[in-house]
A = this chain, B = another copy of it.
Amino acid sequence: MYPDPSIVTRVTTLGAGPIGGGWAAHFLARGYDVTAYIHSEAERAALMAVIDTGWISLEALGLVEGASRDRLTVTTDLDAAVRNAQFIQESAPERLELKQALYKRLGEVAPKDCVIASSTSGLMMTDIQKDCPTPERTVIGHPFNPPYLLPLVEIIGGKRTDPAAVQWAAKFYEVAGKAPLIMKKEIPGFVATRLQEALWREALHMVANGEATPEDIDNALMNGPAPRMAVQGQCMAFHVACGEGGMATNLDQFGPALKWPWTRLEAPELTQDLRDRMVDGCNEIAAGRHFEEMAAQRDREIVAVLNAIRTARE
């Protein structure tokens, strides 16, 4: 039903803000023809400013052959922008009624085999697609700020979304140079935002209680877990740090510490099922690699990150 994601050459972006403009810049850098819909001519300068800012980074990361800002068309005509679209990335303001009305129109005008992805960070697709006459191809494709730089896109459909559209979006984002993550369930927030938000709330608690300043929080992150987390997620960080025993040792040995008041977030019950999911998940990621090999790789990459930051600051 949907075309092969690798033959897509035209992308339509909706929105002139940092997210909409960031997406336009990203797709231009990946060699697509981009049609950017803006609500009014007054938004054109803002859109171009976001694209020009993003372009500096995108050039430094490496453009694909043929990529050019000349392949951008900006229009205030919504129907014209989406009528021949092969993929639509919507980054309109975060107001449900506005998005519902927009998806009603998009559902009528955009080709039926064109997947429409929303950048929303707070709304659920089940709500957004309520008045859309063709909701089966509407998904959430939530980027991480800044969207022209960070690879993550979290994808989930609504109740009336065709699972094939979710799969198509994941494949398309991958072809377009992003790191797609298909969510398992439609829940408020996304995997990365929930993790970040838990950390953020703990930070607010610490500041509220006079235990740390914002500067302490930021210094602790930048000099502590973050350089490692950029090259190795928290699950594998614990898995590798525990040597031969891996995640099993981590949970069996430090499981009781989950009851300690180390954060204001209460830990879940460490059931056998949860333990097994964590252990099995880490073993799957490890794919047979020995922990020493993974630790050596982690170290090489942290060194690269630290040296890169130092060089960039000199």
Contacts and interface: CB of A to CB of B under 8 A. Distances in A.
Interface stretch (A36-44, A72-80, A85-93, A214-222): A214-222
A61 B195 contact: no
Interface stretch (A105-113, A133-141, A203-211): A203-211
A288 interface: no
Interface stretch (A6-14, A27-35, A63-71, A270-278): A270-278
Given A150-B227, A185-B211, A212-B191, A204 B267 contact: yes
A164 to B, nearest CB: 21
A45 interface: no
A197 B269 CA distance: 15
A61 B310 CA distance: 10
Contacts of A151: 223
Contacts of A233: 214, 217-222, 226
B265 A201 contact: yes
A299 B312 CA distance: 10
A214 B301 contact: no
Given A195-B199, A268-B201, A304-B311, A221 B214 contact: no
Q: How would you classify the secondary structure of chain A's contact residues: helix, strand, loop or mixed?
A: helix
Contact of A301 (B56, B212, B267, B309): B309
B198 A199 contact: yes
Nearest to A299: B57
A267 to B, nearest CB: 5
Contact of A215 (B201, B232, B268, B285): B285
A150 B185 contact: no
A262 B194 contact: yes
A203 B235 contact: yes
Contacts of A212: 183-184, 191
Nearest to A270: B204
B306 A301 contact: no
From A214, A303, A308, name the one whose CB has the most chain B CB atoms within 10 angstroms: A214
A299 B199 contact: no
Contact of A214 (B149, B264, B281): B281
Interface string A225-243: 1111111111110100100
B179 A278 contact: no
B194 A144 contact: no
9 A-B pairs with least C-beta separation: A218-B233, A214-B281, A265-B265, A308-B308, A198-B202, A192-B224, A152-B224, A152-B223, A179-B223
Given A191-B206, A222-B231, 17 more contacts: A53-B295, A60-B307, A151-B223, A184-B213, A189-B262, A195-B199, A196-B199, A198-B198, A201-B268, A205-B267, A208-B271, A208-B273, A221-B234, A226-B230, A264-B266, A301-B313, A308-B308
